[in-house]
Amino acid sequence: MKLLLIGFGVVGQGLAQILRDKAAELKSKHNFTAEIIGVATASKGALYRSSGLDISALLQAAEGGSFVDFPDQPGLRRDMTVREMIMIGEADVLVEASPTNLETAQPALDFCYQALEAGMHLALANKGPVALDYAGLRAKARAKGLLMRYEATVMAGTPTMRLAQDALAGCEIRSARGILNGTTNYILTQMEKGLSYDDALAQAQAQGYAEADPSGDVEGWDAAGKVLILANALFGGKLAMADLAVSGITAISAADIADANAAGQRYKLIARATPDGGEVKANRLPLDDPLASVGGATNAITLETDLLGDITLIGAGAGKLETGYAILSDLLAIQRRLTAKRNPPANPS
């Protein structure tokens, strides 16, 4: 499988590291091999090589902050635009892992449409295109017979979308409620331990949890993007940001947190999606609420279903390998689909 990576920050590097370190296991257990043939970033530059880029060299160059130091190799190009990398038509999957823009979803949204037009499947970690134009992208992918996967956009590699869409197929999901932002949950947890808001945020940034612009995390917009993704993907809605009531954690002080604790409660930023709408709001939960015990960058979601009651999934919500793995899980799903297409089951006689 040939990959084109847009963005090579925490998530792109996480995926690259997994592809390198698990290459033998993925080949032997899943007959899966992947080559990164193109990488395009806003800050480090761009690289393209039809026969694949050396992953260790990519990671080393990224550590230095620029692809200028990536060693020259036969066939290596450093001058291609994303559009040219897409239009040359050599990649099977566009991996969109550039920073999320929840106002316009651009430039990622245009790249996604160009990739679908060129016959490439999509694996998105970038929440913008899925949150703002789920229905349009889904329609285009279907019309082209291509897959659009976006496991990384909600709860990193914790299999939220696969649980809801694959494992729970046949159940009606009535609502989704959870802690969907790792940065704010980490900050609230650390503040409860006595750290200042600023120090806790700095730690969340250092650990790679926060967005490039962390105001999107702390003001609730990142969780709101996930609410849109859940609402539109699970409930077939056509909600927009303006339909949601959104607030974050910036107004919560150390005194508020101590106050809640003294009353046997804990602040959590709760995101909720239903077929009719959604919201993001800091709530004081009683300590015996299952979501109250979810600390640090960990996320949790409770899906309310018709046949199974409530199902709660708890796991990583952010991080380098955690989110890189989400993309790997999408790539494996795309490979399973391609394999099934190539080898359809024999007709029963």
The residues annotated with a catalytic role in the active site are: 226
Q: Calculate the dihedral angle through the C-alpha atoms of 105, 315, 309, 307, rounding to the nearest 10 degrees.
A: 70
Residues 180, 186, 188: CA angle, nearest 5 degrees: 100
Residue 131 interacting with ligand HSE (CB under 6 A): no
Q: Are 226 and 180 a contacting pair, CB within 8 Å?
A: yes
Residue 126 interacting with ligand HSE (CB under 6 A): no
Q: What does the DSSP assignment read for 154-175?
A: TTTTS-HHHIIIIITTTSPEEE
Q: Are 70 and 48 a contacting pair, CB within 8 Å?
A: no
Residue 217 interacting with ligand HSE (CB under 6 A): yes
Residue 96 interacting with ligand HSE (CB under 6 A): no
Residue 219 interacting with ligand HSE (CB under 6 A): no
Least spacing, CB of residue 161 vs ligand HSE, in Å? 13
Residues 304-323, one symbol each (x = binds ligand HSE by CB under 6 A, - = not), give -------------xx-----
Q: Are 45 and 78 a contacting pair, CB within 8 Å?
A: yes
Q: Are 182 and 317 a contacting pair, CB within 8 Å?
A: yes
SS3 147: coil
209, two tokens: 């949890």
Residue 210 interacting with ligand HSE (CB under 6 A): yes
Least spacing, CB of residue 181 vs ligand HSE, in Å? 4
Least spacing, CB of residue 347 vs ligand HSE, in Å? 44
Q: How far apart are CA 304 and CA 86, in angstroms?
A: 40
Number of CB atoms found within 10 A of residue 99's CB:
18
Q: Which stretch binds ligand HSE (CB under 6 A): 40-48, 134-142, 179-187, 250-258?
A: 179-187
Binds ligand HSE by CB under 6 A, chosen from 222, 249, 260, 327: 222
Identify which of residues 182 and 220 has a Cβ nearer to ligand HSE in the complex.
Answer: 182
Binds ligand HSE by CB under 6 A, chosen from 92, 211, 219, 279: 211
Strands 298-305 and 173-179: antiparallel
Could you say which DSSP state residue 46 is in? E
Identify which of residues 92 and 222 has a Cβ nearer to ligand HSE in the complex.
Answer: 222
Least spacing, CB of residue 136 vs ligand HSE, in Å? 22
Q: Which stretch binds ligand HSE (CB under 6 A): 58-66, 167-175, 209-217, 336-344?
A: 209-217
Residue 15: partners with Cβ closer than 8 Å, 6 or more residues away: 5, 95, 97, 324, 327, 328
Residue 208 interacting with ligand HSE (CB under 6 A): no
Binds ligand HSE by CB under 6 A, chosen from 182, 237, 248, 324: 182
Q: Which residues are near ligand HSE by CB under 6 A?
A: 156, 181-183, 209-211, 217, 222, 317-318
